[in-house]
Chains A and B, each alone.
Chain A
Amino acid sequence: MKLLTHNMLTSHVKGVTKGYPLLIKATEVKVNEVEFNPEFVSRMIPKLEWSALVQAAEGLGHLHELPAELTPDYEKNEEFLKKAHRVLLEVEVIEGCLQCPESGREFPISRGIPNMLLNEDEV
């Protein structure tokens, strides 16, 4: 699970109103090399919940000077975009779980795949 994906994921347990962002508890993290596409990254940024991204990266120990706030003109700041690229696309949680911030329910991540299936009573 990449952090870009994590940014979209939310807990959808019945009754939960604040299921976002999910807390990452990782037991295995990988960093891959992914081809850098500055336009792609720059267009992705407005679609993100930036603070959730920062929080997630920090939790994994992979913040690496990613700014807590977006600066104006970030689209042209290649150094910033590279940092964003790394955090969004290169850091990957292979094993662990995602925890609902409201209910505490844990969704397992195994072999890179979060299992967000709910049980009958959570639906």
Chain B
Amino acid sequence: MTMMEEAASQLERDHVHSVYDKIAPYFNDSRYKAWPKVRQFLLDLQPGSIVADVGCGNGKYLHINKDVFKLGCDVCRPLVDIAWSQGHEVQMCDGLHLPYRDGCFDAVLSIAVIHHFSTKERRIRAIKEMARTLRVGGRIMIYVWAMEQKRRKFEKQDIFVPWNPNPHSPSGFKPRRRGATQSVSEVIDNTDKHRKVKSTSSMVDEEDITCSTPQQRTQRLWFFSRSLDSVFDFGSLAISRSSSRDLSTLSSPTGENEGNKAGQLGRRRSLIKQVSSFFSPSSMISSEEDVFGSVTDLHKGRKDAGGTTCTSSSTENQGVSVALVQECDSMALPDLVPYQKEHLKQTGDKEGDRDPPGKEQEQQESTQSPLDGEGQVDGSCLRYYHVFREGELAELIENHIEELHVTHTYFDHANWCVVAEKIQQVVDKGNYTSFTCPVLALNITVESLHCPLQQ
């Protein structure tokens, strides 16, 4: 396995699989309704169709349309158990290796799944796998989180999103004006109210502490990351010299062979581990839905009426947030650059001092690493997402997956959606690719110009 593959795999293990494992018991069906267009896609299928929901989670789409046979699969055992308890046929597997024979499905669903794959190559492979299991003429529907939202846009495409088991009900919103405190949210107020998370440190300010619950503050936190793709592309890196040296020795072909391989492996693992270890705040924070809700309601106060599982005091929470920031600032991370630092580098930041008062004190607290929480439900609950730009998903399919042809693309409730049809069966035999052309009923073998799985 290449280093890239290993890093990608590790990232997904830490920030997708293990998070869903932990939060599965808290998933509540009523919070997540089936998207109407997905429902319609299923209802439009011919009776007797066989459909696979790849990444089915707790199976919320598996009950729709009793005239079609649905099966679901997911990596997350607790979620799959829930789906089975609802009477659905489900399996455990991973999206890059589907245990289904070629062309056995009439339709495939991939709803809010492939945005969890951490590299472009893996996202392509995941779609190719699903395409493999589709029959010619079959259709696939893919939903992924959009970078562009109604009232805001994610600044970057690769993010870590915290999770909160207790979503706020929409009726609990109360508009609230910000005071005079220096904060990014103030800057946001002044710039068309577009959501811009600049720096995690800017999220922690005094007004926040006094006026909001820990959940409200940390709800607004999510962390921007570089994509793993860019980490391994040194032209675009903007990190400290020492870690870029580390990385280049680890990644260059000669680097891997020379010197102490064991030492390099160890360093590489610890670099990857460092990244993971930063994302274990001691309290659970935002729900999946609430990330969007809380973002659009940045300026509104919200009371968490339902009570929470968070037992930390506000000071401790603040300490956690600041500590995370501190760690980000002081350690050179291979794929996480605090936005503030990067922003300063790139644009010559004009915003004022973001450090909240009393930060020194929090620094003290933070040295006690409030980042432990491993093994507890409320640790490590940040999920990795690659949010998609407009057109990105359709382009990905058109440019890299010849067996699929995009028939519809649209925006739905914060997702980019694509429906594609399988137009040919591809059998890759090394340097030769065989097509079954359905119209001519011919088998055609051509010498491949490139290996489809390599970028």
Chain A interfacial positions (CB closer than 8 Å to B):
1-2, 4-5, 8-12, 20, 37, 39-44, 47, 49, 107, 111-118, 120, 123
The residue on B at minimum CB distance from A45 is B48
Closest chain B residue to A1 by CB distance?
B89
The reply to whether the CB of B112 lies closer than 8 angstroms to some CB of chain A is no
Quick one: which of B328-348 are within 8 Å of A by CB?
none
In the complex with contacts A42-B48, A47-B50, A117-B93, A111-B100 CB distance below 8 A = no
Q: Which of B67-75, B172-180, B434-442 lines the interface with chain A?
A: B67-75
Measured CB to CB, the residues of B under 8 A from A are: 1, 46-50, 66-67, 69, 71, 73, 75, 80-81, 84, 89-94, 97-101, 104-106
Most buried by A among B67, B91, B99: B99
CA distance A56 to B106 in the complex (A): 23
Docked pose: A10 CA to B75 CA in angstroms: 17
Most chain B CB neighbours (cut-off 10 Å) among A42, A115, A116 = A116
B98 cross-chain contacts in A, Cβ below 8 A: 12
Interface centre among A5, A11, A41, A42 (most CB of B within 10 A): A5
Give the distance in Å from the alpha carbon of A4 to the alpha carbon of B89 in the complex: 10
Q: Is the CB of B69 within 8 A of A10?
A: no
- Closest Cβ of chain B to A103, distance in Å, is 13
Chain B positions within 8 Å of A44 at CB level = 48, 50, 69
Task: Say yes or no: B75 contacts A4, CB within 8 Å.
Answer: no
Provide the residues of chain B in CB contact with A111, threshold 8 Å: 81, 84
- In the bound complex, residues from chain A placing their C-beta under 8 Å from that of B73 are 116
Tell me if B71 and A5 are in contact (CB < 8 A).
yes
A4 in contact with B69 (CB, 8 Å): yes
Q: Contact partner of B48 among A2, A10, A43, CB < 8 A?
A: A43
Q: Given the complex of chains A and B, what is the CA–CA distance between A39 and B1 in angstroms?
A: 47
B67 x A37 contact (CB < 8 A): yes
How far is it, in angstroms, between the C-alpha of A1 and the C-alpha of B90 when the chains are bound? 8
Q: Name which residue of chain B comes closest to A98, CB basis.
A: B99
Identify the closest chain A residue to B98 (Cβ).
A12
